[in-house]
Amino acid sequence: MALRVRANGNVQLGKRDATLKFENVKTRLAAKSLATKSSHVGTRAALGNISNVATSTGSTSLINAKKVGKKDGKTTRVLGKSKATSSLHSLAAKLPEPIVEQPKSPEAMDFDDILPKMISRPFNVEDIDQDDHESPQLCSEYVKDIYQYMHYLERKYKVEDYMESQEINVRMRTILVDWLVQVHLRFHLLQETLFLTIQLIDRYLALHSVSKNNLQLVGVTAMFIASKYEEMYPPEINDFVYITDNAYTLNQIKSTECLMLKTLDYNLGKPLCLHFLRRNSKAAGVDAQKHTLAKYLMELTLPDYTFVMYDPSEIAAAALCASMRLLEDEAEWDSKMEYYSNYTRGEVAPIVEKMAQLILRSETSKYQAVRNKFASSKFMKISTISELKPASVKRYLLDS
């Protein structure tokens, strides 16, 4: 640094040196200001200071952890590292837990999760809804979407094998269903009411354990609920008390009704076999006899527990396929029927064979409610036709 001696003996800095000193001071002030500002940059309430500036609980603590000093003659260790570790642990505790994808239950699945494989329409298959645009009841504009949604619902509320977890057995269920068919006939209820009744019983038994003494109570309660859901004029609750010969009280039926609805989460909209049969019969163009025979075969499956695991659309397709084979020599489950039923011939064949076994056992079975019901003129005496004799059943349903 150059010095200049003035006349009075004082020492004076040169102009250049004074300028450099001023610049150095200016630089230090700017650096200090920057450091002050940096300490406040990037601060978040949840995560703390995320800037690169060292803080007393951040990197400075990590550095100071290695320093050992003396105070009052005693060795003192700076616990910066433990503080930093504690800070990191608290930071990790505030971070959200990683999301682990859990498998969905059938009740929680949405439309795309459960929607079954839909058969595409072949170019040579006619549109059976093209002439229904003037009828608002047939909903021709979106009938295909409706049935697609019904396929989704039957998969969503599918019933699996539940008998191992129950106190009751298969025979008890068969006796109950056979009795309910007689009650349904005596009350002159709709066919939808019967199918919904059995469906509610199976869905409830799959979710709730029932004792032997309360099985009939579950049956009449299910029919009471189904009647209020389907019928315009449902039977009164006292009628169901009477039909059980006062084995259960009015309050017991009410309590069971509340429990059943709560167990099923108030979801009663699972489709029935009848809904799909009407669509299939329209596509096949069958007459009243074939349609009635298909209804008889579907109702024959109600007391049989092995059919609980099948979807309603599967049973409806197999019943119509069996009916067409029995009453029409050259009937085939062609591409048109595959498209509108959504099942190929190979998929319905095993169910048709099981229905054939039901027909063969029906004459000697102790449970004759369904067979006697369809022997009346109201149902065209369909259960007594010659085509249901063992020879015809074996020829058209088992040997084909």
What total of structural domains would you count in the chain?
2
Q: Say if 57 falls within a structural domain.
A: no
Q: Are residues 263 and 172 in the same domain?
A: yes
What pTM does this model have?
0.72
| Domain final residue, candidates 237, 270, 303 | 270
What is the domain range of residue 228? 158-270
Q: How crowded is the C-beta side of 238, counted as CA atoms within 13 Å? A: 0
Q: How confident is the model at residue 32 (pLDDT cuts 50, 70, 90)?
A: low
Highest mean pLDDT pick, 5-14, 68-77, 94-103, 223-232:
223-232
Q: Say if 345 falls within a structural domain.
A: yes
Q: Are residues 281 and 264 in the same domain?
A: no
Highest mean pLDDT pick, 53-57, 101-105, 122-126:
122-126
Mean pLDDT of 319-323: 96
Q: How confident is the model at residue 119 (pLDDT cuts 50, 70, 90)?
A: confident
Q: Are residues 228 and 288 in the same domain?
A: no
Q: What is the pLDDT of residues 4-31, one digit of tens each?
A: 545 444 445 455 555 445 555 555 555 5
Mean pLDDT of 90-99: 51
Q: Kindly state the percentage of the chain with pLDDT values over 90.
A: 64
Q: Are residues 314 and 343 in the same domain?
A: yes
Q: Say if 25 falls within a structural domain.
A: no
Q: Are residues 165 and 263 in the same domain?
A: yes
Phi then psi for residue 35, to 5 deg, are -65, -40
| Domain final residue, candidates 246, 270, 294 | 270
Q: Are residues 203 and 311 in the same domain?
A: no
Q: What is the pLDDT of residues 138-192, one digit of tens each?
A: 899 999 999 999 999 999 999 999 999 999 999 999 999 999 999 999 999 999 9
Instruction: Kindly write down the DSSP assignment for every residue of 155-192, as one continuous string.
Output: HHT-----GGGSSS-HHHHHHHHHHHHHHHHHTT--HH
**Pairwise CA distance, residues 242 & 3, whole Å:** 125
Q: Are residues 306 and 358 in the same domain?
A: yes
Per-residue model confidence (pLDDT) at position 329: 72
Q: What is the pLDDT of residues 245-273, one digit of tens each?
A: 999 999 999 999 999 999 999 999 999 99
Helix axes 345-362, 288-300, angle to 10 degrees: 80
Which CATH number belongs to the domain containing residue 385 in this structure?
1.10.472.10
Average pLDDT, the chain: 81
Q: Say if 311 falls within a structural domain.
A: yes
Q: Indicate if the pLDDT at residue 62 is higher than 50.
A: no
